[in-house]
Structure 1
């Protein structure tokens, strides 16, 4: 888990929601921005993974952004934004393992056929016979 928080930049804005009259005066919402291509913490392959998996969150200039306005204080929102950004990027770097295609075993095939036969016999016995 890489901590690239030194490369992040922040913007603040007025947040909506709880806060009473304070919400109209204080900029508590935090938007965190990170220039993916200019990162020194990741190699080119990792940057490419991030750019492809998080393309919906990256703007035209190449900045990955995330806005947090859950808390009533700017500092708490900033900390949450950093944590979420790190988590988001680390999830994007995970490459799922390729599935190895396998065939069902003879025992599995036989069990399936036996189950089908039992169900068929059960339904056959339900029929009304003269």
Structure 2
């Protein structure tokens, strides 16, 4: 069972995990052991994920989420299958947690009366300084 938060958990039967052979260098060891993990999670079929999480996940433009609503994670950074499995599950949990965070609504504000007054005063003061930089007229 994958724990996302205190209210949201995903049972193991909703997550499809398969072991595959890792890519890249590694000699004979990489050619004969399946240490990489391929994790698949279908957002539409999930019964334990709340509807709000599903909607936010489907609206995210993330490279791990396909157009069909499938989360596909490949983990091959470690040499052991167990560590790659834990890394893939943690990446899935982090992605779902990120979808659960709602951004604070921004309310546009305006500067106060005193702030506007200070700004105009500074502009006039700056303008007076610039007029003093003109050519000196002989008397």
Relative to the length of structure 2, the TM-score reads: 0.75
Q: Using the TM superposition, give the Cα deviation of residue 113 of structure 1 relative to its aligned residue in structure 2, in angstroms.
A: 2.8
Q: Using the TM superposition, give the Cα deviation of residue 60 of structure 1 relative to its aligned residue in structure 2, in angstroms.
A: 5.0
Q: Say if 1:30 and 1:81, in contact at 8 Å, map to a contact too.
A: yes
> Taking structure 1 as reference, are residues 60 and 104 closer, same or farther at Cα in structure 2, changes over 3 Å only?
closer
Q: Using the TM superposition, give the Cα deviation of residue 85 of structure 1 relative to its aligned residue in structure 2, in angstroms.
A: 0.4
Map 1:1-130; keep pairs closer than 5 Å. Answer: 1=5, 2-4=8-10, 6=12, 7-17=14-24, 19-54=26-61, 56-59=63-66, 61-127=68-134, 129-130=136-137
Distance of 1:118 and 1:71 partners within structure 2? 65
- Give the number of the structure whose alpha-carbon radius of gyration is greater: 2
Q: Say if 2:9 and 2:49, in contact at 8 Å, map to a contact too.
A: no
Q: Which runs of no fewer than 5 residues in structure 1 stay unpaired?
A: none
* Mean CA deviation greater in 22-31 or 78-87: 22-31
Q: Say if 1:3 and 1:86, in contact at 8 Å, map to a contact too.
A: no
Relative to the length of structure 1, the TM-score reads: 0.79
Q: Say if 1:54 and 1:92, in contact at 8 Å, map to a contact too.
A: no
SS of the residue 1:57 aligns to: coil
Q: Using the TM superposition, give the Cα deviation of residue 71 of structure 1 relative to its aligned residue in structure 2, in angstroms.
A: 1.1
User: How many residues align structurally?
Assistant: 130
Q: Using the TM superposition, give the Cα deviation of residue 61 of structure 1 relative to its aligned residue in structure 2, in angstroms.
A: 4.5
User: Which structure has the highest helix share of the two?
Assistant: 1
